Amino acid sequence: MAAKPPTTIQRRIVVAAGICVLAFSIIGIRLVDLALLKSRESVAVAGNGAETEIVRADIVDRNGRLLARDLPVYDLYVRPHVFWDKAEAAHGLAQVTGVSEARLARAFAGKHNYVLVASQITPETRDRVMSLGLPGMEFEPSTKRFYPEGDASQVIGMTQAVSGGRGIAGIEKGLNAQLAAGKRVQLSLDMRVQYALLHALEMTRAKYNAKAAGGIVLNVNTGEILAMASQQDPKAPDYNPTRNIMAANDYELGSVFKIFAFALALEDHRITFDTTFPVGSGFKVGKYTIHDAERMPAVMAAKDILAESSNAGTAQIALLSGPDRQRAWLTSLGLLASTRTEIPERARPLYPSNWGQVETATIGFGHGISVTPLAFVTAAATVVNGGRRIQPTFLKQDGDRRGDQVLKPETSLKMRELLRYVVTDGTGKNADIPGYDVGGKTGSAEKNAGGRYIAHKLLTSFCAVFPIDNPRYLVFVMLDEPHGESAVMALAGHTAAPLAGDVIAHIAPMLEMPNTAAVPVPGKGNS
């Protein structure tokens, strides 16, 4: 028997049931969607759940000044299809985020369910976005490393751009494990000193149109590096502002290296201040004759050889020690190995494999050996601090950190007397800052290109120590190819020496160093 067709009432019931099922299905789907969205937002939006955990620790200077910190940031996504007015939404978001309104309008008009509006916005910007009251906004949390003091970037380094990225340069790389574990790092850097050094380098490099300028300020008793900076000519083909040339580049430093030849000769009692040497006609060693850039007297005392920076005289003094003794001495100062610190940037020194008479003579006045400025200042500090080895460090230290005795204290005292004489009566006069008893040594090295030294391409430097009677700080500065009004005016005494003096004049008060020139002297009729 055939089935009876459904009545009108039955058909209405079936249709109503279908509509109900469909409606509940839609509601269910939407509830799931909202739950997922809510879950996503619960970890992204402040006040609705947890923020991204900040793990990487801060870096601060010796006075607690912030140098690096992880801060929360957000990637902003939107669902354009839920906007009531897409044009109005594009306008509002553009005003708050700074993103092009036209770009947002095009993106919102497309078929994408999700659109990235802006990356790494700050919590403040996020709050302003939320105040717009737009539906369909999502905030993906992450972190970004901020460096409020860019003046120390070559030392601090950087991390990978990704959230929570590891360190890839400088302190960030060298102490990555400690920072990633949430342990704060306090550096030896003093940002006041760092800024003063960097400013002086910038001004002087520009003044002499040099390819680069660099400097280091070091505590000779603790090994702490208070400042390290370099400036490069942005027009140079090898310009790299992130490269730390003071630690990663080798240089033939020239006459500042004479410090070590004199210290060794005094240590071994081969010379006194008044020991004389024939200088005026040059000095022949092997098939080479060593001459001075400027005319020298026929005969000079040792103290004047250093004060006037005679290469011919210093070569003779170096040969008194001989190749083996010279090599052993430079080894004990750490100059023949890489200088290790908390930063990974370092370079191996370059020196001759066959160390004979000629090499001994030229190394005596700073040619034929290349070291980093950091290695040099470490060794120079040992010579003036009483003769005890130090370990350079970028971490704040407590108390005297001098180590093994490698030079007799009395020899160190004699070297300080000589370095003061260089400033009062020799090539270092332009580094003399009244009241701070500066001692030091100039260096003007011809640069080597293709195995030949180029007379008009100089690397000038100055190594200053103050106060010289009881040294605390060493200031080293250098200029790569400075251009003076004449060849003489490009030498270190006219370029690097006043730069060092300028740095000392600015940083000494910061370091609470008393200026003795301001102290009245009894019986001198002070008014």
- Whether residue 48 lies inside any domain: the answer is no
Residue 45 pLDDT exceeds 50: no
Do 441 and 332 fall into the same domain?
A: yes
Among the listed residues 153, 188, 255, 412, the single catalytic one is: 255
Residue 117 pLDDT exceeds 60: yes
DSSP code, position 257: G
CA distances from 98 to 93, 117, 136, 338 (A): 8, 10, 19, 48
DSSP per-residue codes, 285-337: ETTEEE--SS---SEEEHHHHHHTT-HHHHHHHHHHH-HHHHHHHHHHTTTTS
Do 343 and 253 fall into the same domain?
A: yes
CA distances from 242 to 19, 154, 232 (A): 67, 6, 10
Which of 186, 209, 241 is the endpoint of a domain? 186
Pair 188, 394: CB distance under 8 Å: yes
- Whether residue 241 lies inside any domain: the answer is yes
Q: Residue 215: CA atoms inside 13 Å, Cβ hemisphere, count?
A: 33
Residue 23 pLDDT exceeds 90: no
The span from the CA of 373 to the CA of 504, in Å, is 18
Do 163 and 302 fall into the same domain?
A: no
Single-letter residue type at 36: L
Do 307 and 445 fall into the same domain?
A: yes
Do 459 and 342 fall into the same domain?
A: yes
The span from the CA of 170 to the CA of 343, in Å, is 5
What is the percentage of the chain residues whose pLDDT exceeds 70?
Answer: 88
Judged by phi (left if over 0) then psi (alpha if -120 to 50, else beta), residue 28 lies in alpha
Pair 335, 349: CB distance under 8 Å: yes
Mean pLDDT of the chain: 88
- Whether residue 53 lies inside any domain: the answer is no
Residue 156 pLDDT exceeds 70: yes
- What SS3 state is found at 479? strand
pLDDT of residue 485: 80
Residue 39 pLDDT exceeds 80: no
Mean predicted confidence (pLDDT) in 293-303: 94
Annotation says 255 is catalytic = yes
Pair 305, 314: CB distance under 8 Å: yes
The span from the CA of 378 to the CA of 192, in Å, is 22
CATH at residue 148: 3.90.1310.10
Pair 254, 245: CB distance under 8 Å: no
Do 148 and 246 fall into the same domain?
A: no
Do 214 and 157 fall into the same domain?
A: no
- Whether residue 431 lies inside any domain: the answer is yes
Do 142 and 279 fall into the same domain?
A: no
pLDDT of residue 7: 54
pLDDT of residue 51: 56
- Whether residue 52 lies inside any domain: the answer is no
The span from the CA of 108 to the CA of 106, in Å, is 5
Residue 153 pLDDT exceeds 90: yes
Do 278 and 371 fall into the same domain?
A: yes
- Whether residue 137 lies inside any domain: the answer is yes
- Whether residue 32 lies inside any domain: the answer is no
pLDDT of residue 22: 42
Which of 186, 216, 250 is the endpoint of a domain? 186
Query: For residue range 315-360, what is the model confidence (pLDDT) as tens digits?
Result: 999 999 999 999 999 999 999 999 999 999 999 999 999 999 999 9
Pair 482, 490: CB distance under 8 Å: yes
Query: For residue range 482-522, what is the model confidence (pLDDT) as tens digits?
Result: 998 887 888 999 999 999 999 999 999 999 998 887 555 44
DSSP code, position 57: P
pLDDT of residue 293: 84
Closest residue by Cα to residue 359 from 315, 393, 312: 315
What is the percentage of the chain residues whose pLDDT exceeds 90?
Answer: 78
CATH at residue 239: 3.40.710.10
Q: What angle do CA 400, 406, 411 make, to 5 degrees?
A: 95
The span from the CA of 473 to the CA of 190, in Å, is 13
Closest residue by Cα to residue 445 from 400, 492, 512: 492
Do 238 and 387 fall into the same domain?
A: yes
CA distances from 117 to 33, 71, 80, 96, 396 (A): 21, 20, 11, 11, 43
Residue 15 pLDDT exceeds 70: no
pLDDT of residue 48: 37
How is residue 227 written in tokens?
A: 């400042």
CA distances from 385 to 154, 285, 433 (A): 27, 34, 20
Between 448 and 258, residue with greater pLDDT: 258
Do 171 and 289 fall into the same domain?
A: no
pLDDT of residue 213: 97
DSSP code, position 405: B
pLDDT of residue 305: 98
- Whether residue 27 lies inside any domain: the answer is no
Which of 165, 186, 207 is the endpoint of a domain? 186
**Residue 466 burial class via C-beta count within 10 angstroms: exposed 0-12, middle 13-18, buried 19 and up:** buried
Beta strands in 27-160 (DSSP E): 59-60, 66-78, 115-121, 137-146, 158-159
Give the predicted TM-score (pTM) of the model: 0.85
Residue 296 pLDDT exceeds 60: yes
The span from the CA of 279 to the CA of 310, in Å, is 8
Q: What is the tally of structural domains in the chain? A: 2
| Number of Cβ atoms within 10 Å of the Cβ of 518 | 8
The span from the CA of 505 to the CA of 29, in Å, is 74
pLDDT of residue 46: 36
pLDDT of residue 52: 58
Query: For residue range 405-458, what is the model confidence (pLDDT) as tens digits?
Result: 999 999 999 999 999 999 999 999 999 999 999 999 999 999 988 778 888 899
Residue 317 structural domain: 192-516
Do 138 and 235 fall into the same domain?
A: no
The span from the CA of 138 to the CA of 40, in Å, is 8
The span from the CA of 19 to the CA of 485, in Å, is 94
